[in-house]
Structure 1
Amino acid sequence: MAKPTSDRSKPAALKSVRFVAPRNEARRTEIREVEPVLSGLDGWVHDQVGRWKSKPVKSDAMWEQAGSIEQALRQLSQLSERQFQSELRAMRQQVRRHGANWPQQVGLALPLVAEAARRSLGLTAYRTQLMGALGIGSGSLVEMATGEGKTLTIALAAVIAGFTGKPCHVITANDYLATRDAAELSRLYEYCGLTVGAIAAELEGPQRRDVYLSDVVYCTGKELVADYLRDQIALGPLVESRRRAMTYLLRRRRWRDQLVLRGLNIAIVDEADNQLIDEAVTPLIISRKQENESMREACYAIDACASTFLPGEHYDVVERFKEIRLLPDGRQLIEEWCTERRGLLSAPDWVADLVLQSLQARHFFLRDQQYVMVDGKVVIVDEFTGRPMPGRNWRLGLHQAVEAKEGCEISAPSETLARLSFQNFYRYFEHLSGITGTAHESWREFWRIYDLPFLKVPYHKPNLRRDERAAFFASEEAKWAAIVDEIVHFNQLGRPVLVGTRSVDASEHLGRLLSQCHVECKILNAVRHDQEADIILRAGDDAAVTIATNMAGRGSDIRISNSVDKLGGLHVILTEGHESGRVDRQLRGRAARQGGQGSSRLFASFEDELFQRHLNRFMRFVTRKWIDWALPGRHAMLRWGFHFAQRRAERRSQRQRFQLMKQDQEIAKSVIGGGAKSAL
């Protein structure tokens, strides 16, 4: 239920021309009221409602509706340009008149918008794309296979959303895609009488404000949440629209020039599983630097102290939870170290916390995995995309601990001004929908958090991809040797190979192994990302070998020539299982797109992080002995352990996301006093 912050309750005498602006300004902070996520028996009942709303019969009905729209398109193609423009203008006005009920008009408007796409872009929408646009318009989570044309599908729905006159945000995976899609689809939006813009990280305040005035805005979730929080900081107590209305009486309106957003009303999320599930683990925080020279000196001193600690003697490492636990000997060592120091460094409890941070940085935050070094600075690498994230910092002193470990300049600590989890932010939208190639595995979580029913769109052409039997090995060395042999084999056949790795270090290691075999390859990771689109575009060339981190799973298309398709198409190799099966399926989906040929294969070893972190000690011990004693069924044992560890990792990540959302709501209540509209 939307909870407007309008001034409908004001006496008629107060409603004069001078208050038109305040009423419009109220829309900037008008958000959907966030209800607590249900759990227990209520959550189970809620899940059953979601299961009913996601039942296949509803997908079948929408498929039939998409077929009717196809027939209507044939009739519209016979209209003259003048007649068609008249029909399009009339439909735009009709959608706008329906206001909040605009989703009911999607089926009527979609034939006209699809015909507009054909006339402006030369693109004819398939029945699957029409069905996907219907799903987005109805507020569903749409699963459409990779390569089926999600970009045009989103645009068809975004045009109709733009007809409402309310802010429509299309949220993409990165700035490149946002800029690219807005530019390539601009002719469609202009043809339909709409404006479109794209938000990039380098845009300043006034430029952002101008872009957000567009009918449809392409942007990333991080940029949108950051702009929302900055607006909340700028408004302060004036976040309540009725308070802002009073400033008009007092002629104090300076705050108007500081805001950039028009409001949160309609959001269409591309790659929804990544945006709404994977990246939702970490809240977005707005902070400011605070110079503290003594803190910098303390970081170097603590790092030197932590370097003397021995695992098993002074502390224990808990791999599964990525935790460090001090042992009595470790605490004793800290107390002895503090006796020789002054000031804060003489406080054992405070030093113990910093030592834990430093040890955590040494064990769980590794160079070329969680971060890379660029121009002598620590740059975080996105865990799910493999892309660098300059300007982002770990909080609570962890970033400074990593910098001290690397021996580089310590950045100034920061003060938190505002924070907000992505889960709560996306729930603020009055109309939320998403589309992705992998959603079925997490449909229950999408429904419970966002109330998004699941809709599966069939393939436009039959899927011909062959998923070869996974290969499991006892050691990483044996796994890498098998991967190299597989790459060499397909390279000699002339088939292109795309290899997905989990870290920068793994991609560079495989590149060195291939160079020893005289196999030329292209490497795409957080260090070598400048030509990402071009490298992925050419990954389908004859005998091409491309090694990439998770960023290869999303973004630019891989073009396959007819000659390559006849040889068997693109072969995708997964060098390690991810903590989410969705990421594995997304990477497999790079092969055999649009009915083409292709294949994939997973390679995994018992020494991989997934096994070591998410199997308990007893299971690791049993599996290790099974392998060492060469007992029958070793391959089956490793396969079972792999799937068990992956499911366990998925459940733990889900619990983390729920816990983060609850913490975010509690912080908002304690600071704001019960309001869910601000995260200050």
Structure 2
Amino acid sequence: MAGLGSLARKFFGSANDRRVKGYRPRVAEVNALEPEYASLTDDQLRAKTEELKRRVADGASVDDILVEAFAVVREGAKRALGMRHFDVQLIGGMVLNDGSIAEMKTGEGKTLVATLPVYLNALAGKGVHVVTVNDYLAKRDSEWMGRLYRFLGLSVGVIVHGLDDDQRRAAYACDITYGTNNEYGFDYLRDNMKYDLAQMVQRGHHYGIVDEVDSILIDEARTPLIISGPLDDRSELYNTIDKFIPNLLAEDYEIDEKQRTASFTEAGNEKLEQLLTEAGLLKGESLYDVENVTVVHHVNQALRAHRLFQRDKDYIVKSDEVIIIDEFTGRMMPGRRYSEGLHQALEAKEHVQIQPENQTLASITFQNYFRMYDKLAGMTGTAQTEASEFLDIYGLDVVEIPTNVPVSRIDDDDEVYRSAAEKYKAIIRVIRDCSERGQPVLVGTTSIEKSELLSEFLKKEKVPHQVLNARYHEQEAYIVSQAGVPGAVTIATNMAGRGTDIQLGGNLDMRLEHELAGIEDETARARRTEEVKAEIAVLKQKALAAGGLYVIGTERHESRRIDNQLRGRSGRQGDPGHSHFFLSLQDDLMRIFGSERMDGMLQKLGLKEDEAIVHPWINRALEKAQQKVEARNFDIRKNLLKYDDVMNDQRKVIFDQRVELMGEADVSTTVDGMRQEVISDLVAKHIPERAYPEQWDSKGLREALQQAINLDLPIEEWAAEDGIADAEVRERVLKAGDEAAAQRTSRFSPEVMRQVEKAVLLQTLDHLWREHLVTLDHLRQVIGFRGYAQRDPLNEYKTEAFELFEAMLQSLREAVTAQMMRVEIMQSPPLMPTDVEDVEPIHLDPVTGGNELDEAFYSSFTPSQQQGFEAAGVDPNDPTTWGKIQRNALCPCGSGKKFKHCHGRFA
């Protein structure tokens, strides 16, 4: 069958070939316009932008004006950048405009390709977002390609760490905005915590192009973007629950010290239900009713704190604080805290002051953030291996764009050694040989540790080299740009070098930027520029003669995509090149693949030390192993997304509702509706349908109304009247509620009450939504156990999450009504907060586990803050003059970081 398939493809071409062929006629149309546009003056070319904008405003679609727009960009690029789009780049631009992923080999000019659809879609005036993997690339591309956009009359903004809201708003208001995935997502979440439409910075999600789309939408998508902040003080809850645990007997719980887990037995559950009911903490009848998820979570943490964690072994108590002890080193770790309320449970156990938990205030996965765009596109050198995931999750097709010049790189079969030591010996041998012959080498490793190990080997052999580990993007870009110099040896981890080409002989622009930095004289600058150009031309010829860039892979990654990224660094724009992977049976992937059998087989075949096995079958077998791992990872991400989709549906409802409420000057109708619903629910609860008046709970209704609407009504007297029905009681209560609300409005004036209503409604909604997020989080952690009862955890989660959402809306109605019927205004009405409270953005790096947004988020001091410190007699260089500083305050040393991230940081 496979043979028939390849035979058919020879005759008809693949689906990809046919799609690419379909773009060719439009490319010919763009080419036909080139002479005409070349004859225009700069002003006439710029005027084309206004003409095209007018046509879009008059109803033309972007496809209608694509040919003219692409011709304008190509001509503009020739004048503003000195670059001309190749025909294959025009095809890439058309693929991106169609809302697909353009897979283009390294060195094919993806940054320039993006200018075509970006310009075209920006003509609608709704804003275009270009998404990059780091701040350095966002700044670089916005300045570099910004020359073209500004030449054509469009505005360009860039979003990086440290900007305030006004700067962000201005950047998003531009026709084109560059920024990182983290910044876009964080701004979206912060916008949905604002209290006024004018404070929001983003203006919608019209069209987005994601650079390195595989890195952002697949690798980064494993962890959500989170905004966290301190939780309300709940020390009373922790202390109450803590008192229950000493009353439990050994038969009430089970402990697994090996797994560090603790759970209650059936007897323990019954005892707890009784204790919680007496303390008024149990809602409903059972401990495991959905409303009690949070209480159950804290009870479990209290049990763990008492029965699994020992004082002076796992933690110590010092200066009224519980400090964790590192189990490996035995050292104290001040500043580190257990999450999920466990640290608070330990503080309750030791009767020290309970610090508030950090709570998720808002969160979103990148999958759900990027699915909000009306049209989304992406570019990368490697997407084909993940094509099914892109289509399934994002609805994005992957189209492979042919190279401008055929690839002439030689890809050797993998060499497999029995041990890692033999493998490294072979790698060092090849590196030394290339270095002596003047052939540039790029060595790819799978981790920073392995980069450093290889570096040690090369130091012993006295081979000069550079090590890259993706920690400093600007330095990384410069080192990568010079990795094509003859004899250069560069070691890089998976993430290193994204967005920068390795050009044989070295990158001219980077060299000039580096070398002209200190030269002011124009003549001297011009002379040095010519010298560098000549130098690079000579070096390029040497590198070409030595065989181009030699790429060495020190092991196979679990994803073929990462291997292809490394391989693709060599052979750009038709240059010669070489790629070679060295493996050992001790590599992670080989161990998973079943190296024991293979080791026995290789010994039988008589494989001696320092000998390798090389065969295309090995490559194919490895590829299959990689495919299995990729499929497993895809399933994990897909499963996570299914759960997040449940929350995402609720998030969209809440965020849309907030925006709607913020846009309304008068929300009194909503508030009145809530009050009327609360009254109707209470009457229905205490006066059942078709029940006789003597069966009514008149006293209960009276007390409930007093609590809910702050009115003491003679319900018992009404119930005693002849012929009264429940409908009439409801009408009387509704009328009394309306009159009380009207009296309050006349007392404080309608203008003041409108402001108060809006403030109360939004702030109550936010408070309940945050509590709801915590509850969903706790529910998510325990829902998997339903699988043991042969019930689908996802369906159970959907059902219970919906019930919790309905309960939250009910609580919102009750809380807003209770507040509005009691509100007293002493002076001026409470104003909305002007900005989002002190929050912390978190996006955990899927590889290192560190928070990517930790350091860069904090901006420097303002002059007024510095003056404030001076006035208070604070010497930035003398910590003894600083006094007590809040953890979230700026550090007095002048670094611009928060105290907890600077001098207040624990070692």
TM > 0.5 fold call:
yes
Q: Tell me the CA shift for residue 68 of structure 1.
A: 2.8
In the TM superposition, what whole-angstrom CA distance separates every residue of 1:464-516 from its partner, at most 9, and x where no partner exists? 11111211122222221111111111111111111111111111111100000
Structure 2 distance, partners of 1:450, 1:105, is 27
Matched, 1:205 2:165: yes
**Structure whose CA Rg is larger:** 2
Q: Tell me the CA shift for residue 103 of structure 1.
A: 3.7
Matched position secondary structure for 1:286: strand
Structure 2 distance, partners of 1:480, 1:677, is 60
Matched, 1:67 2:22: no
Q: Tell me the CA shift for residue 290 of structure 1.
A: 6.1
1:659 match = 639
Higher relative contact order (CA 8 A, sep 6+): 1
Tell me the amino acid that sits aligned with residue 180 of structure 1: R
Which of 536, 539, 549 aligns to 1:570? It is 549
In the TM superposition, what whole-angstrom CA distance separates every residue of 1:341-374 from its partner, at most 9, and x where no partner exists? xx998724887699xxx9xxxxxxx99xxxxxxx
Q: Is the 8 A contact 2:470 2:497 kept in 1?
A: no
C-alpha change, 1:272 and 1:528, in structure 2 (3 Å) is: closer
Which of 440, 459, 466 aligns to 1:522? It is 466
Matched, 1:584 2:563: yes
1:611 match = 590
Matched, 1:274 2:230: no
Tell me the amino acid that sits aligned with residue 380 of structure 2: T
Aligned-residue sequence identity (percent) comes to: 35
Matched, 1:476 2:451: no
Matched position secondary structure for 2:65: helix
How many residue pairs align between the two structures? 525
Matched, 1:172 2:132: yes
Greater shift after overlay, 545-554 or 137-146?
Answer: 545-554
2:91 match = 131
Q: Is the 8 A contact 2:131 2:210 kept in 1?
A: yes
Matched position secondary structure for 1:552: coil
C-alpha change, 1:510 and 1:332, in structure 2 (3 Å) is: closer
Matched position secondary structure for 2:126: coil
Tell me the amino acid that sits aligned with residue 347 of structure 1: L
C-alpha change, 1:174 and 1:420, in structure 2 (3 Å) is: same
Which of 632, 635, 645 aligns to 2:625? It is 645
Q: Is the 8 A contact 1:611 1:641 kept in 2?
A: no
1:159 match = 119
Matched position secondary structure for 1:568: coil
Matched position secondary structure for 1:500: strand
Q: Is the 8 A contact 2:49 2:123 kept in 1?
A: no
1:542 match = 486
Structure 2 distance, partners of 1:333, 1:231, is 39
Q: Is the 8 A contact 1:500 1:552 kept in 2?
A: no
Q: Tell me the CA shift for residue 262 of structure 1.
A: 1.1
Q: Is the 8 A contact 1:626 1:634 kept in 2?
A: no
1:507 match = 451
Which of 368, 371, 394 aligns to 1:450? It is 394
Q: Map 1:22-171 to 2 at 5 A.
A: 55-98=16-59, 101-171=61-131
Structure 2 distance, partners of 1:155, 1:533, is 21
C-alpha change, 1:518 and 1:327, in structure 2 (3 Å) is: farther
Tell me the amino acid that sits aligned with residue 153 of structure 2: G
Matched, 1:261 2:202: yes
2:601 match = 626
Q: Is the 8 A contact 1:143 1:437 kept in 2?
A: yes
Matched position secondary structure for 1:591: coil
Structure 1 distance, partners of 2:630, 2:343, is 26
Tell me the amino acid that sits aligned with residue 469 of structure 2: N
Q: Tell me the CA shift for residue 69 of structure 1.
A: 1.2
Matched position secondary structure for 2:496: helix
C-alpha change, 1:115 and 1:418, in structure 2 (3 Å) is: same
Matched position secondary structure for 1:469: coil
1:383 match = none
Structure 2 distance, partners of 1:657, 1:207, is 35
Q: Tell me the CA shift for residue 454 of structure 1.
A: 2.6
1:193 match = 153
Structure 2 distance, partners of 1:156, 1:353, is 60
Matched position secondary structure for 2:67: helix
Structure 2 distance, partners of 1:631, 1:481, is 20
In the TM superposition, what whole-angstrom CA distance separates every residue of 1:629-674 from its partner, at most 9, and x where no partner exists? 5568966686565333311210011111211211111123466769
Q: Tell me the CA shift for residue 229 of structure 1.
A: 1.0
Q: Is the 8 A contact 2:557 2:589 kept in 1?
A: yes
**Aligned Cα root-mean-square deviation (Å):** 3.7
Tell me the amino acid that sits aligned with residue 148 of structure 1: E
Structure 1 distance, partners of 2:153, 2:130, is 18
C-alpha change, 1:530 and 1:152, in structure 2 (3 Å) is: closer
C-alpha change, 1:111 and 1:399, in structure 2 (3 Å) is: farther
Structure 2 distance, partners of 1:63, 1:282, is 40
Q: Is the 8 A contact 1:114 1:124 kept in 2?
A: yes
Structure 2 distance, partners of 1:579, 1:285, is 28
Q: Tell me the CA shift for residue 591 of structure 1.
A: 0.7
Matched, 1:439 2:383: yes
Q: Is the 8 A contact 1:280 1:423 kept in 2?
A: yes
Matched, 1:330 2:258: yes
Greater shift after overlay, 209-218 or 226-235?
Answer: 226-235
Structure 2 distance, partners of 1:515, 1:532, is 20
Q: Is the 8 A contact 1:606 1:638 kept in 2?
A: no
Tell me the amino acid that sits aligned with residue 275 of structure 1: I
Which of 660, 668, 673 aligns to 2:648? It is 668
Q: Tell me the CA shift for residue 555 of structure 1.
A: 1.5
Matched position secondary structure for 1:234: coil
Q: Tell me the CA shift for residue 182 of structure 1.
A: 0.3
C-alpha change, 1:567 and 1:349, in structure 2 (3 Å) is: same
C-alpha change, 1:333 and 1:170, in structure 2 (3 Å) is: closer
Which of 423, 428, 438 aligns to 2:367? It is 423
C-alpha change, 1:474 and 1:119, in structure 2 (3 Å) is: same
In the TM superposition, what whole-angstrom CA distance separates every residue of 1:574-630 from its partner, at most 9, and x where no partner exists? 112112101111111111101111111111222222233x44xxx354234334555
Matched position secondary structure for 1:435: strand
Which of 576, 600, 607 aligns to 1:597? It is 576
Which of 303, 323, 336 aligns to 1:347? It is 303
Tell me the amino acid that sits aligned with residue 626 of structure 1: M
Matched position secondary structure for 2:361: strand
Which of 491, 494, 503 aligns to 2:435? It is 491
Matched, 1:232 2:192: yes
C-alpha change, 1:657 and 1:329, in structure 2 (3 Å) is: closer
In the TM superposition, what whole-angstrom CA distance separates every residue of 1:402-433 from its partner, at most 9, and x where no partner exists? xxxxxxxxx99631111111111111110111
Q: Tell me the CA shift for residue 116 of structure 1.
A: 1.6
Matched position secondary structure for 1:119: helix
C-alpha change, 1:234 and 1:134, in structure 2 (3 Å) is: same
Matched position secondary structure for 1:539: coil
When normalised by structure 1's length, the TM-score is 0.70
Q: Tell me the CA shift for residue 562 of structure 1.
A: 2.3
Tell me the amino acid that sits aligned with residue 583 of structure 1: I
Tell me the amino acid that sits aligned with residue 475 of structure 1: S
Matched position secondary structure for 1:233: coil
Q: Tell me the CA shift for residue 529 of structure 1.
A: 5.5
In the TM superposition, what whole-angstrom CA distance separates every residue of 1:178-212 from its partner, at most 9, and x where no partner exists? 10000011221112211101111222222211211
Structure 2 distance, partners of 1:608, 1:286, is 38
